A and B are shown apart, each in its own frame.
Chain A
Amino acid sequence: MTVKLNCTIAKGLIPSEKTVFIRRADGAIEEVIVSNKNLSGGKLEASEIGRNKNGILIELPRESASGRWRIWVAKSSVGA
């Protein structure tokens, strides 16, 4: 299921990309370079993989700078 993630958006390396920063459930910040097409209404479109009482497991559209494709985020980070 596609979800929209709260994130901070900065410019990317090339005009068709943006750098986004997402807060993980553990508080750390994950940096991902994505296509402009992965963004919608100032949010990052990502896929929900699963959830538990602590948060939601998200698959990012691209691998993050720390080497992660999937991260746990707080439920409050995810919109419809």
Chain B
Amino acid sequence: MVLTDREIQVALQNKQIIIKPPPDQSAYSSTSLDLTLSRVLQEWQPAAVEQIVCPTDKNYKFTNFVAKFSKTKKMTGKGYLLLPGIFLLGWTKENVELPTQGRLAARVEGKSSLARLGIGIHVTAPTIHAGFKGPIQLEICNHGPLKVKLTIGMPVCQLIFEQTLGTPDKGYKGQFYGQVKAG
């Protein structure tokens, strides 16, 4: 079940959702909550496209690859011009925490204001699982033909909160705690 604005606010009061800094009233819609873009972007360097990446290679380490072939950009007040075809990583300004016992998960989704300009903000990995803590990483891509300026604090994505059926193993402390299936 998707939470409405009122239920999101109740969940925030009950610490089933923790968001810092707390969202402004204007960040809600009827069934979602907008998050904003932080100043940090991770930009791939031209040499990265010459590489072959094999995520299943036993020597592959994403963090090493990022360290070698990308550069951290800190946006200034002038923003960042996202050119057509460019893909980079960004993060939300807000830290989000979904305690495992809160019986909530979330999906990060794009916003129509950006989608109509060709900007996607995640690449098929929208789930914010119960137990998640931290800023949300965004996989930002300009699929369109336009040069689009990103700015610090712009509404960049929305969270849709959903109720889970039960508590996952990692947050479970009930009478069946510690039991595992035989075999």
Contacts and interface: CB of A to CB of B under 8 A. Distances in A.
Given A67-B34, A67-B154, A68-B155, A57 B113 contact: no
A78 to B, nearest CB: 16
Contacts of A72: 26
A64 B25 contact: no
A50 interface: yes
Contact of A67 (B25, B28, B111): B111
A70 B27 contact: yes
Interface string A50-70: 100000010100111111111
A29 interface: no
A61 to B, nearest CB: 10
A57 B29 contact: no
Contacts, number: 42
Interface of A: 49-50, 57, 59, 62-72
Contacts of A64: 113
Given A62-B112, A63-B112, A63-B113, A69 B28 contact: yes
B114 interface: yes
State which size class the interface on B falls in: 10 to 19
B29 A59 contact: yes
Contacts of A59: 28-30
Contacts of A70: 25-29
Interface of B: 5, 25-30, 32, 34, 111-114, 154-156
A50 B112 contact: no
A59 B32 CA distance: 12
A63 B27 contact: no
Among B111, B113, B155, B156, max chain A CB count under 10 A is at B113
A68 B158 CA distance: 11
A69 B113 CA distance: 10
B98 to A, nearest CB: 22
10 contacts: A49-B5, A49-B25, A59-B30, A63-B111, A67-B111, A68-B34, A69-B26, A69-B30, A70-B26, A71-B26
A49 B114 CA distance: 24
A18 B155 CA distance: 23
